[in-house]
Amino acid sequence: MGLLDRAIVRALPAVPRPVVRRLSERYIAGPTLGDACRVVARLNEGGKAATIDVLGEEITNLEEATALLEEYESVFDAIDSERLDSNVSVKLTGLGLKLDRDACRDNLATLVRWAADERNFVRIDMEDSSTTSDTLAVYRELREQGLDNVGIVLQAYMRRTLDDISALADLRPNVRVCKGIYVEPPDVAYQGGEAVRFNFLEAVTALLDAGSYVAVATHDEWVIKEALELAEERGLGVDRYEFQMLLGVREDLGDELVREGHRLRIYVPYGRQWYEYSLRRLQENPKIAGYIALDTVKRVVP
Ligand code: FDA
């Protein structure tokens, strides 16, 4: 990222919300479940699976967690009635992790049971490092209750990730590996791009060797190429791994993977609480300065 882009990334929280909203439209299906279903149907037609995420990570009471849970029930109903190829992703803070850990676990168990009734699957997103241990503990508790249609996310930038993989090995977890997006201090997370890429591939290697199903979630062409080599070296079929990308990012690269016969799943967020997710996406857009400049010109010159 250039100097100007970096400066703009730092200033983004000061950008008016309507502008953030306009700039981030490509990353979000829309405010309603209907919007998400339309996007997923289009992706499915193009040979891509989806994972639907209901936006809503900043909650202040357990009623909001219940409301989010109920929205996910509607998501499963829609996936079933519209015959969509999609599972769901969920953030545990949205289900109450920071308010009442046991209530959060029970909410998640309800969600995973609904998914099981529909032969579907729940992916627990990973949030900032203050939630990592609790998220993994809740995941283990569910697996120990016999719930298997649930998976986790491990972040390659976290120094603890390889240890977490060893600690979870007895569960043979279904894991999405991503680089990690939250701002973390150097003693918690690798800061350099190369160290994160290296740890990403170490994590994928360890998981594949332990027999896990691995979802490689990245738009980094180099990481994708190396991950494909790891799968090929092991003679793994396409039922042992998938690639995952975010809505609105590197569609060309996704199309290429689908053409080559790999499974690809697109992360499709929707909902009215779009702001935090949008900021994170804009902050990692390498062309953010040009993007903002274009938006400004469009507003000045209609
Ligand atoms: P990198 O950031 O190096 O991007 C590679 C290239 O992709 C860029 O050079 C650019 O071309 C393109 N690109 C990336 N982001 C873009 C953007 N916003 N706009 C335009 N172009 C862009 N994180 C987390 O902490 N917890 C989680 O649970 C998840 N879940 C998750 C699910 C899925 C399906 C994906 C793909 C990602 C996540 N992430 C996540 C986010 C992840 O940690 C990471 O921040 C982003 O994927 C960006 O990292 P890349 O690996 O793509 O590499």
Question: What local confidence, expressed as pLDDT, does residue 295 receive?
Answer: 66
Count CB neighbours of 55 within 10 A: 22
Kindly report the protein residue whose alpha carbon is nearest to atom 19 of ligand 1. Answer: 285
DSSP letter, residue 125: -
From 125, 143, 265, 281, the catalytic residue: 125
Quote the tokens at residue 36.
């998400």
Expressed in angstroms and rounded, the spacing between residue 218 Cα and the centre of ligand 1 is 6
DSSP 235-296: T--TTSEEEEEETTS-HHHHHHHHHTT--EEEEEEESS--HHHHHHHHHT-TTHHHHHHHHH
pLDDT tens track for 127-150: 999 999 999 999 999 999 999 999
Kindly report the protein residue whose alpha carbon is nearest to atom 48 of ligand 1. Answer: 218
pLDDT tens track for 108-124: 999 999 999 999 999 99
Q: Is the dihedral of CA 82, 93, 65, 213 positive or negative?
A: positive
Tell me the helix, strand and coil percentages in the chain, rounded to 5.
55, 15, 30
Backbone angles phi, psi at 222, to 5 degrees: -65, -45
Q: Where does residue 9 rank: exposed (0-12), middle (13-18), buried (19+ CB within 10 A)? A: middle
Residue 143 appears among annotated catalytic residues? no
Expressed in angstroms and rounded, the spacing between residue 284 Cα and the centre of ligand 1 is 7
Kindly report the protein residue whose alpha carbon is nearest to atom 38 of ligand 1. Answer: 178
State the number of CA atoms in the 13 A half-sphere of 185 facing the CB: 2
Residue 102 appears among annotated catalytic residues? no
Question: What local confidence, expressed as pLDDT, does residue 57 receive?
Answer: 75
Probe residue for ligand 1, chosen from 174, 176, 218, 287 as the CB with the greatest number of ligand atoms within 8 Å: 218
Q: Are 86 and 33 in contact (CB under 8 A)?
A: no
Question: What local confidence, expressed as pLDDT, does residue 24 receive?
Answer: 87
Domain ranges of the chain: 29-270
Question: What local confidence, expressed as pLDDT, does residue 288 receive?
Answer: 73
CATH number of 29-270: 3.20.20.220
Instruction: Give the C-alpha separation, 140 to 15, whole Å.
Output: 40
Per-residue 3-state assignment (H helix, E strand, C coil) for 202-249 = HHHHHHHHCCCCEEEECCCHHHHHHHHHHHHHCCCCCCCEEEEEECCC
Expressed in angstroms and rounded, the spacing between residue 248 Cα and the centre of ligand 1 is 11
Question: What local confidence, expressed as pLDDT, does residue 58 receive?
Answer: 73
pTM: 0.95
From 105, 143, 176, 197, the catalytic residue: 176
Question: What local confidence, expressed as pLDDT, does residue 195 receive?
Answer: 97
Stretches where the chain sits below pLDDT 70 are 1, 291-292, 295-302
Ligand 1 atom, smallest distance to 157 CA: 43
